[in-house]
Amino acid sequence: MTSTGKTLLITMGDACGIGPEIAVAAWAAERRPPQPLCLVGDVAVYRRALRCLGLQMPVAQLSDLGELDEVPPDCLPVWVPAGLPPDLLQCPVGQVDARAGRAAAVCIEAAVAAVQRGQAQGLVTAPLHKEALALAGVQHPGHTEMLQALASADGPWLPVRMMLANEELRTVLVTIHVSVREALDLINEERVFETLRITDAALRRMGLAQPRIAVAGLNPHAGEGGLFGDEEALHIAPAIRRARAAGMQVSGPFAPDTVFMRARDAAGHPGEFDVVVAMLHDHGLIPVKYLGVEQGVNVTLGLPFVRTSPDHGTAFDLAGKGLADPSSMTAAIRMARKLAG
């Protein structure tokens, strides 16, 4: 395999946010053979990010990923995909702009196509802004849904799930970017079981021979025997029984206000579980983010390729000030390398 085939692509995210800054900072910290990193996006935007951070390095503009092998090791490689808006530097930093949303989508689409052609092993995606994406006419609410659609374009619809992870806690979500009212209707036995299956398979690929999966309930006290809701009895518990019958080590449903403390693996507190499956977006993400977004990584499970991202958004209030912390992006690159092998 050439070095190009081992490449991890770092997409630009929203040009008006901190994505370009954390991308170049993380590249500078993590570049090393034999697995090269290549940025995807607008050269002028990345040069602005370098100036903002006080970094001085040459930039190589690539029209094709096949040119990556010719780039000197201390030169920032930027693959410029076709279709980028030509006036991204005119978009006000720190503000929502449809052009930035369009550019973010173009970078994702191009990067996925490159992975599918065998030109790269995976993606590390800088944060995009969902409102800018919508203003650009993109029909997907975020990265996860867009990647799912692109990966499923030429075949069956692939079920995917979002996992947030740091050094102390992992959590996988049954539902993600929908309203809470809609999410309640999506929670059923089949969806919960499918989440357990995807989670078990993903953690085995990460090296866990028998992942210990805890399932958080939906209702207070996991329903308290039906006093506070029957979703646990009707949907969640049957899925757990099916998972156990299939050989998975699954426990629950547990009260969602305590299970994350039990799963947390910290000094002097070995975690009881390797991962918690949560029913709702905020149920699962608040505990992980409370422990610190600096080392948090978002991993999309179920895709036929590796995709990770930082555990934070575009941070418009920090954009262009040189204050953005690239730690989560660095952790996302390291996680992608681990998953890509």
pLDDT tens digit sequence for 88-102: 999 999 999 999 999
As a whole number of Å, the end-to-end CA separation of the chain is 13
- pLDDT beyond 70 at 170: yes
Averaged pLDDT for residues 53-70 = 93
Point out the least confidently predicted range of 84-93, 145-154, 289-298. 289-298
Tell me the average pLDDT of the chain. 93
Domain boundaries, the chain: 3-156+295-340, 167-287
Averaged pLDDT for residues 304-331 = 94
∠ Cα 161 296 335 (to 5°): 75
Instruction: Calculate the CA dihedral of residues 87, 13, 291, 232 and round it to 10 degrees.
Output: 130
- pLDDT beyond 50 at 1: no
pLDDT at 4: 54
Q: Report percent pLDDT > 70 for the chain.
A: 98
Residues 10, 27: contact at Cβ < 8 Å? Answer: yes
Measured CA distances, 110 to 15, 52, 155, 262 (Å): 16, 26, 18, 41
CATH of domain 167-287: 3.40.718.10
What is the helix, strand, coil percentage profile of the chain, to 5?
45, 15, 40
Residues 6+ apart with CB under 8 A from 116: 305
Reference 104, options 69, 131, 72; nearest CA is 131
The whole-angstrom separation of Cα 221 and Cα 320 is 45
pLDDT at 293: 63
Averaged pLDDT for residues 290-315 = 89
The whole-angstrom separation of Cα 166 and Cα 26 is 17
Q: What stretches of the chain show up as alpha helix (H) in DSSP?
A: 19-30, 43-53, 98-116, 130-135, 143-151, 180-186, 189-205, 231, 237-245, 259-263, 281-290, 327-340
* The two structure tokens encoding residue 248: 């998975």
pLDDT at 3: 55
pLDDT band for position 154 (cuts 50, 70, 90): confident
3-state secondary structure at position 336: helix
Q: How do residues 109-139 score in pLDDT, each as one tens digit? A: 999 999 999 999 999 999 999 999 999 999 9
Which pTM was predicted? 0.89
∠ Cα 12 314 332 (to 5°): 60
pLDDT at 297: 93
pLDDT at 32: 72
Q: How do residues 198-211 score in pLDDT, each as one tens digit? A: 999 999 988 899 99
Q: How do residues 174-195 score in pLDDT, each as one tens digit? A: 998 889 999 999 999 999 999 9
- pLDDT beyond 80 at 33: no
Give the number of C-alpha atoms closer than 13 A to the C-alpha of residue 26, restricted to the C-beta side.
34
3-state secondary structure at position 142: coil
3-state secondary structure at position 253: strand
Residues 188, 284: contact at Cβ < 8 Å? Answer: no
Q: Do domains 3-156+295-340 and 167-287 have the same CATH topology?
A: yes
Residues 6+ apart with CB under 8 A from 55: 24, 25, 28
The whole-angstrom separation of Cα 152 and Cα 68 is 28
Rg over alpha carbons for the chain, rounded to the nearest Å, is 20
Class (C level, CATH) for 3-156+295-340: alpha beta
Looking at this protein, which amino acid is placed at residue 317?
A: D
| CB-count burial class (<10 Å; 0-12, 13-18, 19+) for 70 | exposed
Looking at this protein, which amino acid is placed at residue 338?
A: K
- φ, ψ dihedrals at 177, nearest 5°: -90, 70
